[in-house]
Chain A
Amino acid sequence: MTLIAIGLFLVLALLGMPLAFAIGIGALAGVWFLDFDLVVLPQRMMHAVNSFPLMAIPLFMLAGELMVRAGIMDRLISFANSMVGRVHGGLAHVTITSGTIFASVSGAAVASASAMGSTLVPSMRKYYPDTYSSAVITAAANLGPVIPPSNAMIVYALMAGSSVSVGGLFLAGIVPGIILALSFMAIATWISWRRGYPLTGDKFNLRNVLQQARKAMVIILMPVIVVGGIVGGVFTATEGAAIAVIYSAFIGFFITKKLKITDLPICFFKAAVTSSMVGALIAFASVITFIFTIEMVPLMLSEFIQSLTSDPLTFILLTMVLLIIVGMLIESNAAYIMLVPLFAPVALIYGIDPLYFGFLFMYNLVVGMMTPPVGVLYFVMCGITKVPMTELIKESMPFVICQFMLLALCIAFPSIVTALPRLLGY
């Protein structure tokens, strides 16, 4: 039955049906063939979505929307420009730095791509071709789910159960996120220098940097308070997200004074529609997961994998290869819902640190957002800059390879991921 459900889902998805609905049809087939009452469908969907931790997702999305409306992108760009604007590929560095800071506000790659795409592309057009600008923005946006707060980490922690905490995963993402941002900057410098792109931005001036840093301080403080509070155990991820919303609204209304009461409905609506995409995937995928459980797929998978290897490292490598393929075909949120309940318990059997496995799992699927054919970020960027997708994919390849190299590095040196969480007691 599981094979029929998965087969149906894959065929419909390849024929262009939205992934959430293709999963839903697969789940419906499962419900029918297993002779369950139709009421199981809404019950499982509600069981999955009716969750307090998941509420953090629309709240972080809303915080990001409010921040953008509040005009924080201008301040971030000015701050980043004062620091790195004069280096080769200056505007690309500005984009990556802004992306890193925005990632610590929004927690979602798509939100980062939309925010940066609409604000940075007009400036970048003056110096770089659209394909390069789009590739840099796409890569910078993909820092969103790696650097905390991260919606992907929230979904992972929710699906993995009590073995992993959101705070621990948030901390696990900090070091790899910084390494990734610096690697992206190195790639941008190399490409800009090799292609002879002109220097952008003003000459480095410490006074200007301090001035811009003062203006950007209110934004930089937000992740310190929110993420600090979550990883410090002061409040939950959802409460932290609510604080992020209050903080963003405060900045918009009283600091930048660009946010108006009349902006709130559209911010609420946009955050809701973006979250509903994740919600629909989670809801329908949970029915498939239920069918997996009924058919004892986790047990069969566990036995099958253990018959292949008893070595934890081989298990990790096999899982990573599978996830690279999955990341190419399935939207990451759907993959978390369907696969985390299958693989996280097996990793525990192998004695693998759940935090380490959780980060690798999540990060692999995050890279999948930049691998064709289902590279969600490419869809967003192509929509903004109208660049042909094939050209954008080609231009993004150095950044994608870099992300896979970091994955390999994290597998080879687990302390990159685990050192900080362990240091802080996770």
Chain B
Amino acid sequence: MSLDINHRKEQQGKDASRPMNRCLSTAVLFLRWLDKGSYWGITLVMGMMVIIVSVQVVLRYLFGASIDSADELARLFFVWTIFLAIPHGIRHGAHVGIDLVISKLPSVVEEQLFRIMSLISMFLMIMLMMGAWQAILDRWPELMPTLPITSAVFYIVLLICAVHSILHLAVLVCGGSKVWEVLP
């Protein structure tokens, strides 16, 4: 297996000057920056979620008070946390799958299947992106029950998740399963 990876790394090195690979390297570089931005975005929304729920607990049990919009805001930040993190799960291979069948196939076939599955997943994300866009347009005039903010804000993160996932899946389709290990 490691020989196979080394061989692939060498091959990638030889092919580095090809326009396709230059394009892929640029895409990976761009995604690294995007992921970094998203990393801090996740930290922020997760932090806000923790603070709001904690403050609400402290206020309720120690001071007998509560913030009206705390529940809704916490849910908003929770939704943003989950959907911002899904593309990172694609990059880090965190989404669970069954490899019983494909692990028995020759590595070339396995790799091709991986790319096809990534392509189909990309199609799903494109459909999600279109649906999320429609949902944003539908919800834009509505306000959240306790805050003067459009309720479309819940769906904006779905759109971001879909676009970010499409980019990650496109890189996997073009570069294969080891693209994050091979490219600088």
**Are A and B physically bound partners?**
yes
A interface residues with partner B (beta carbon < 8 Å): 12-22, 24-25, 28, 37-43, 45-46, 49-52, 54-55, 58-59, 62, 234-235, 238-239, 241-243, 245-246, 264-265, 268-269, 271-277, 279-280, 283, 329, 331, 372-374, 376, 379
Shortest beta-carbon distance, A380 to chain B, in Å? Answer: 10
B50 at the A interface (CB under 8 A): yes
Q: What is the total of A-B residue contacts with beta carbons within 8 Å?
A: 191
User: Which residues does chain B contribute within 8 Å of A52, judged by CB atoms?
Assistant: 71, 74-75
Is the pair A55, B75 in contact by a Cβ cutoff of 8 Å? yes
B23 at the A interface (CB under 8 A): no
Q: 8 closest pairs, A vs B, by CB? A: A373-B100, A276-B85, A18-B95, A279-B82, A242-B53, A268-B46, A272-B85, A17-B117
Is the pair B96, A58 in contact by a Cβ cutoff of 8 Å? no
CA distance A96 to B155 in the complex (A): 43
Query: Among B42, B78, B95, which residue has its beta carbon within 8 angstroms of that of A269?
Result: B42
Is the pair B82, A242 in contact by a Cβ cutoff of 8 Å? no
Is the pair A54, B78 in contact by a Cβ cutoff of 8 Å? yes
- Tell me the B88-104 residues at the A interface (CB within 8 Å): 88-90, 92, 94-102
> Given the known A-B contacts A42-B158, A43-B135, are A268 and B57 also in contact in the complex, defined by CB atoms under 8 Å?
no
CA distance A15 to B116 in the complex (A): 10
Query: Among B56, B60, B110, B124, which residue has its beta carbon within 8 angstroms of that of A21?
Result: B124
Shortest beta-carbon distance, B129 to chain A, in Å? Answer: 9
- List 9 extra interface pairs beyond A45-B158, A265-B39, CB under 8 A: A16-B102, A17-B97, A19-B95, A21-B124, A46-B135, A59-B53, A268-B42, A279-B86, A374-B98
Most buried by A among B42, B97, B114, B154: B97
Shortest beta-carbon distance, A253 to chain B, in Å? Answer: 14
Is the pair A15, B78 in contact by a Cβ cutoff of 8 Å? no
Shortest beta-carbon distance, B100 to chain A, in Å? Answer: 3
Is the pair A17, B101 in contact by a Cβ cutoff of 8 Å? no
B interface residues with partner A (beta carbon < 8 Å): 39-40, 42-43, 46-47, 49-50, 53-54, 56-57, 60-61, 71, 74-75, 78-79, 81-86, 88-90, 92, 94-102, 110, 113-114, 116-117, 120-121, 123-124, 127-128, 130-132, 134-135, 138, 154-155, 158
User: Which residues does chain A contribute within 8 Å of B98, judged by CB atoms?
Assistant: 13-14, 16, 19, 329, 373-374
Query: Among B49, B123, B134, which residue has its beta carbon within 8 angstroms of that of A55?
Result: B49
Query: Among A18, A55, A239, which residue has its beta carbon within 8 angstroms of that of B57?
Result: A239
User: Which residues does chain A contribute within 8 Å of B116, judged by CB atoms?
Assistant: 15
User: Which residues does chain B contribute within 8 Å of A273, judged by CB atoms?
Assistant: 85, 88-89, 92, 94
B105 to A, closest residue via Cβ: A16
> Given the known A-B contacts A16-B102, A265-B40, are A28 and B96 also in contact in the complex, defined by CB atoms under 8 Å?
no
Is the pair B124, A58 in contact by a Cβ cutoff of 8 Å? no
CA distance A25 to B120 in the complex (A): 8
Shortest beta-carbon distance, B26 to chain A, in Å? Answer: 25
Shortest beta-carbon distance, B122 to chain A, in Å? Answer: 9
Q: List 18 A-B contacts (CB under 8 A).
A: A15-B102, A17-B121, A37-B134, A45-B158, A49-B79, A50-B79, A54-B78, A55-B74, A58-B81, A238-B53, A246-B54, A264-B43, A268-B43, A269-B88, A273-B85, A276-B81, A276-B82, A276-B85
Shortest beta-carbon distance, B66 to chain A, in Å? Answer: 11
CA distance A379 to B97 in the complex (A): 10
User: Which residues does chain B contribute within 8 Å of A239, judged by CB atoms?
Assistant: 53, 56-57, 60
Is the pair B95, A277 in contact by a Cβ cutoff of 8 Å? yes
User: Which residues does chain A contribute within 8 Å of B84, judged by CB atoms?
Assistant: 272
Is the pair B128, A280 in contact by a Cβ cutoff of 8 Å? no
> Given the known A-B contacts A12-B117, A15-B102, A18-B95, are A272 and B82 also in contact in the complex, defined by CB atoms under 8 Å?
yes
Is the pair A272, B46 in contact by a Cβ cutoff of 8 Å? yes
Is the pair B43, A42 in contact by a Cβ cutoff of 8 Å? no
CA distance A79 to B128 in the complex (A): 50
User: Which residues does chain A contribute within 8 Å of B81, judged by CB atoms?
Assistant: 58, 272, 275-276
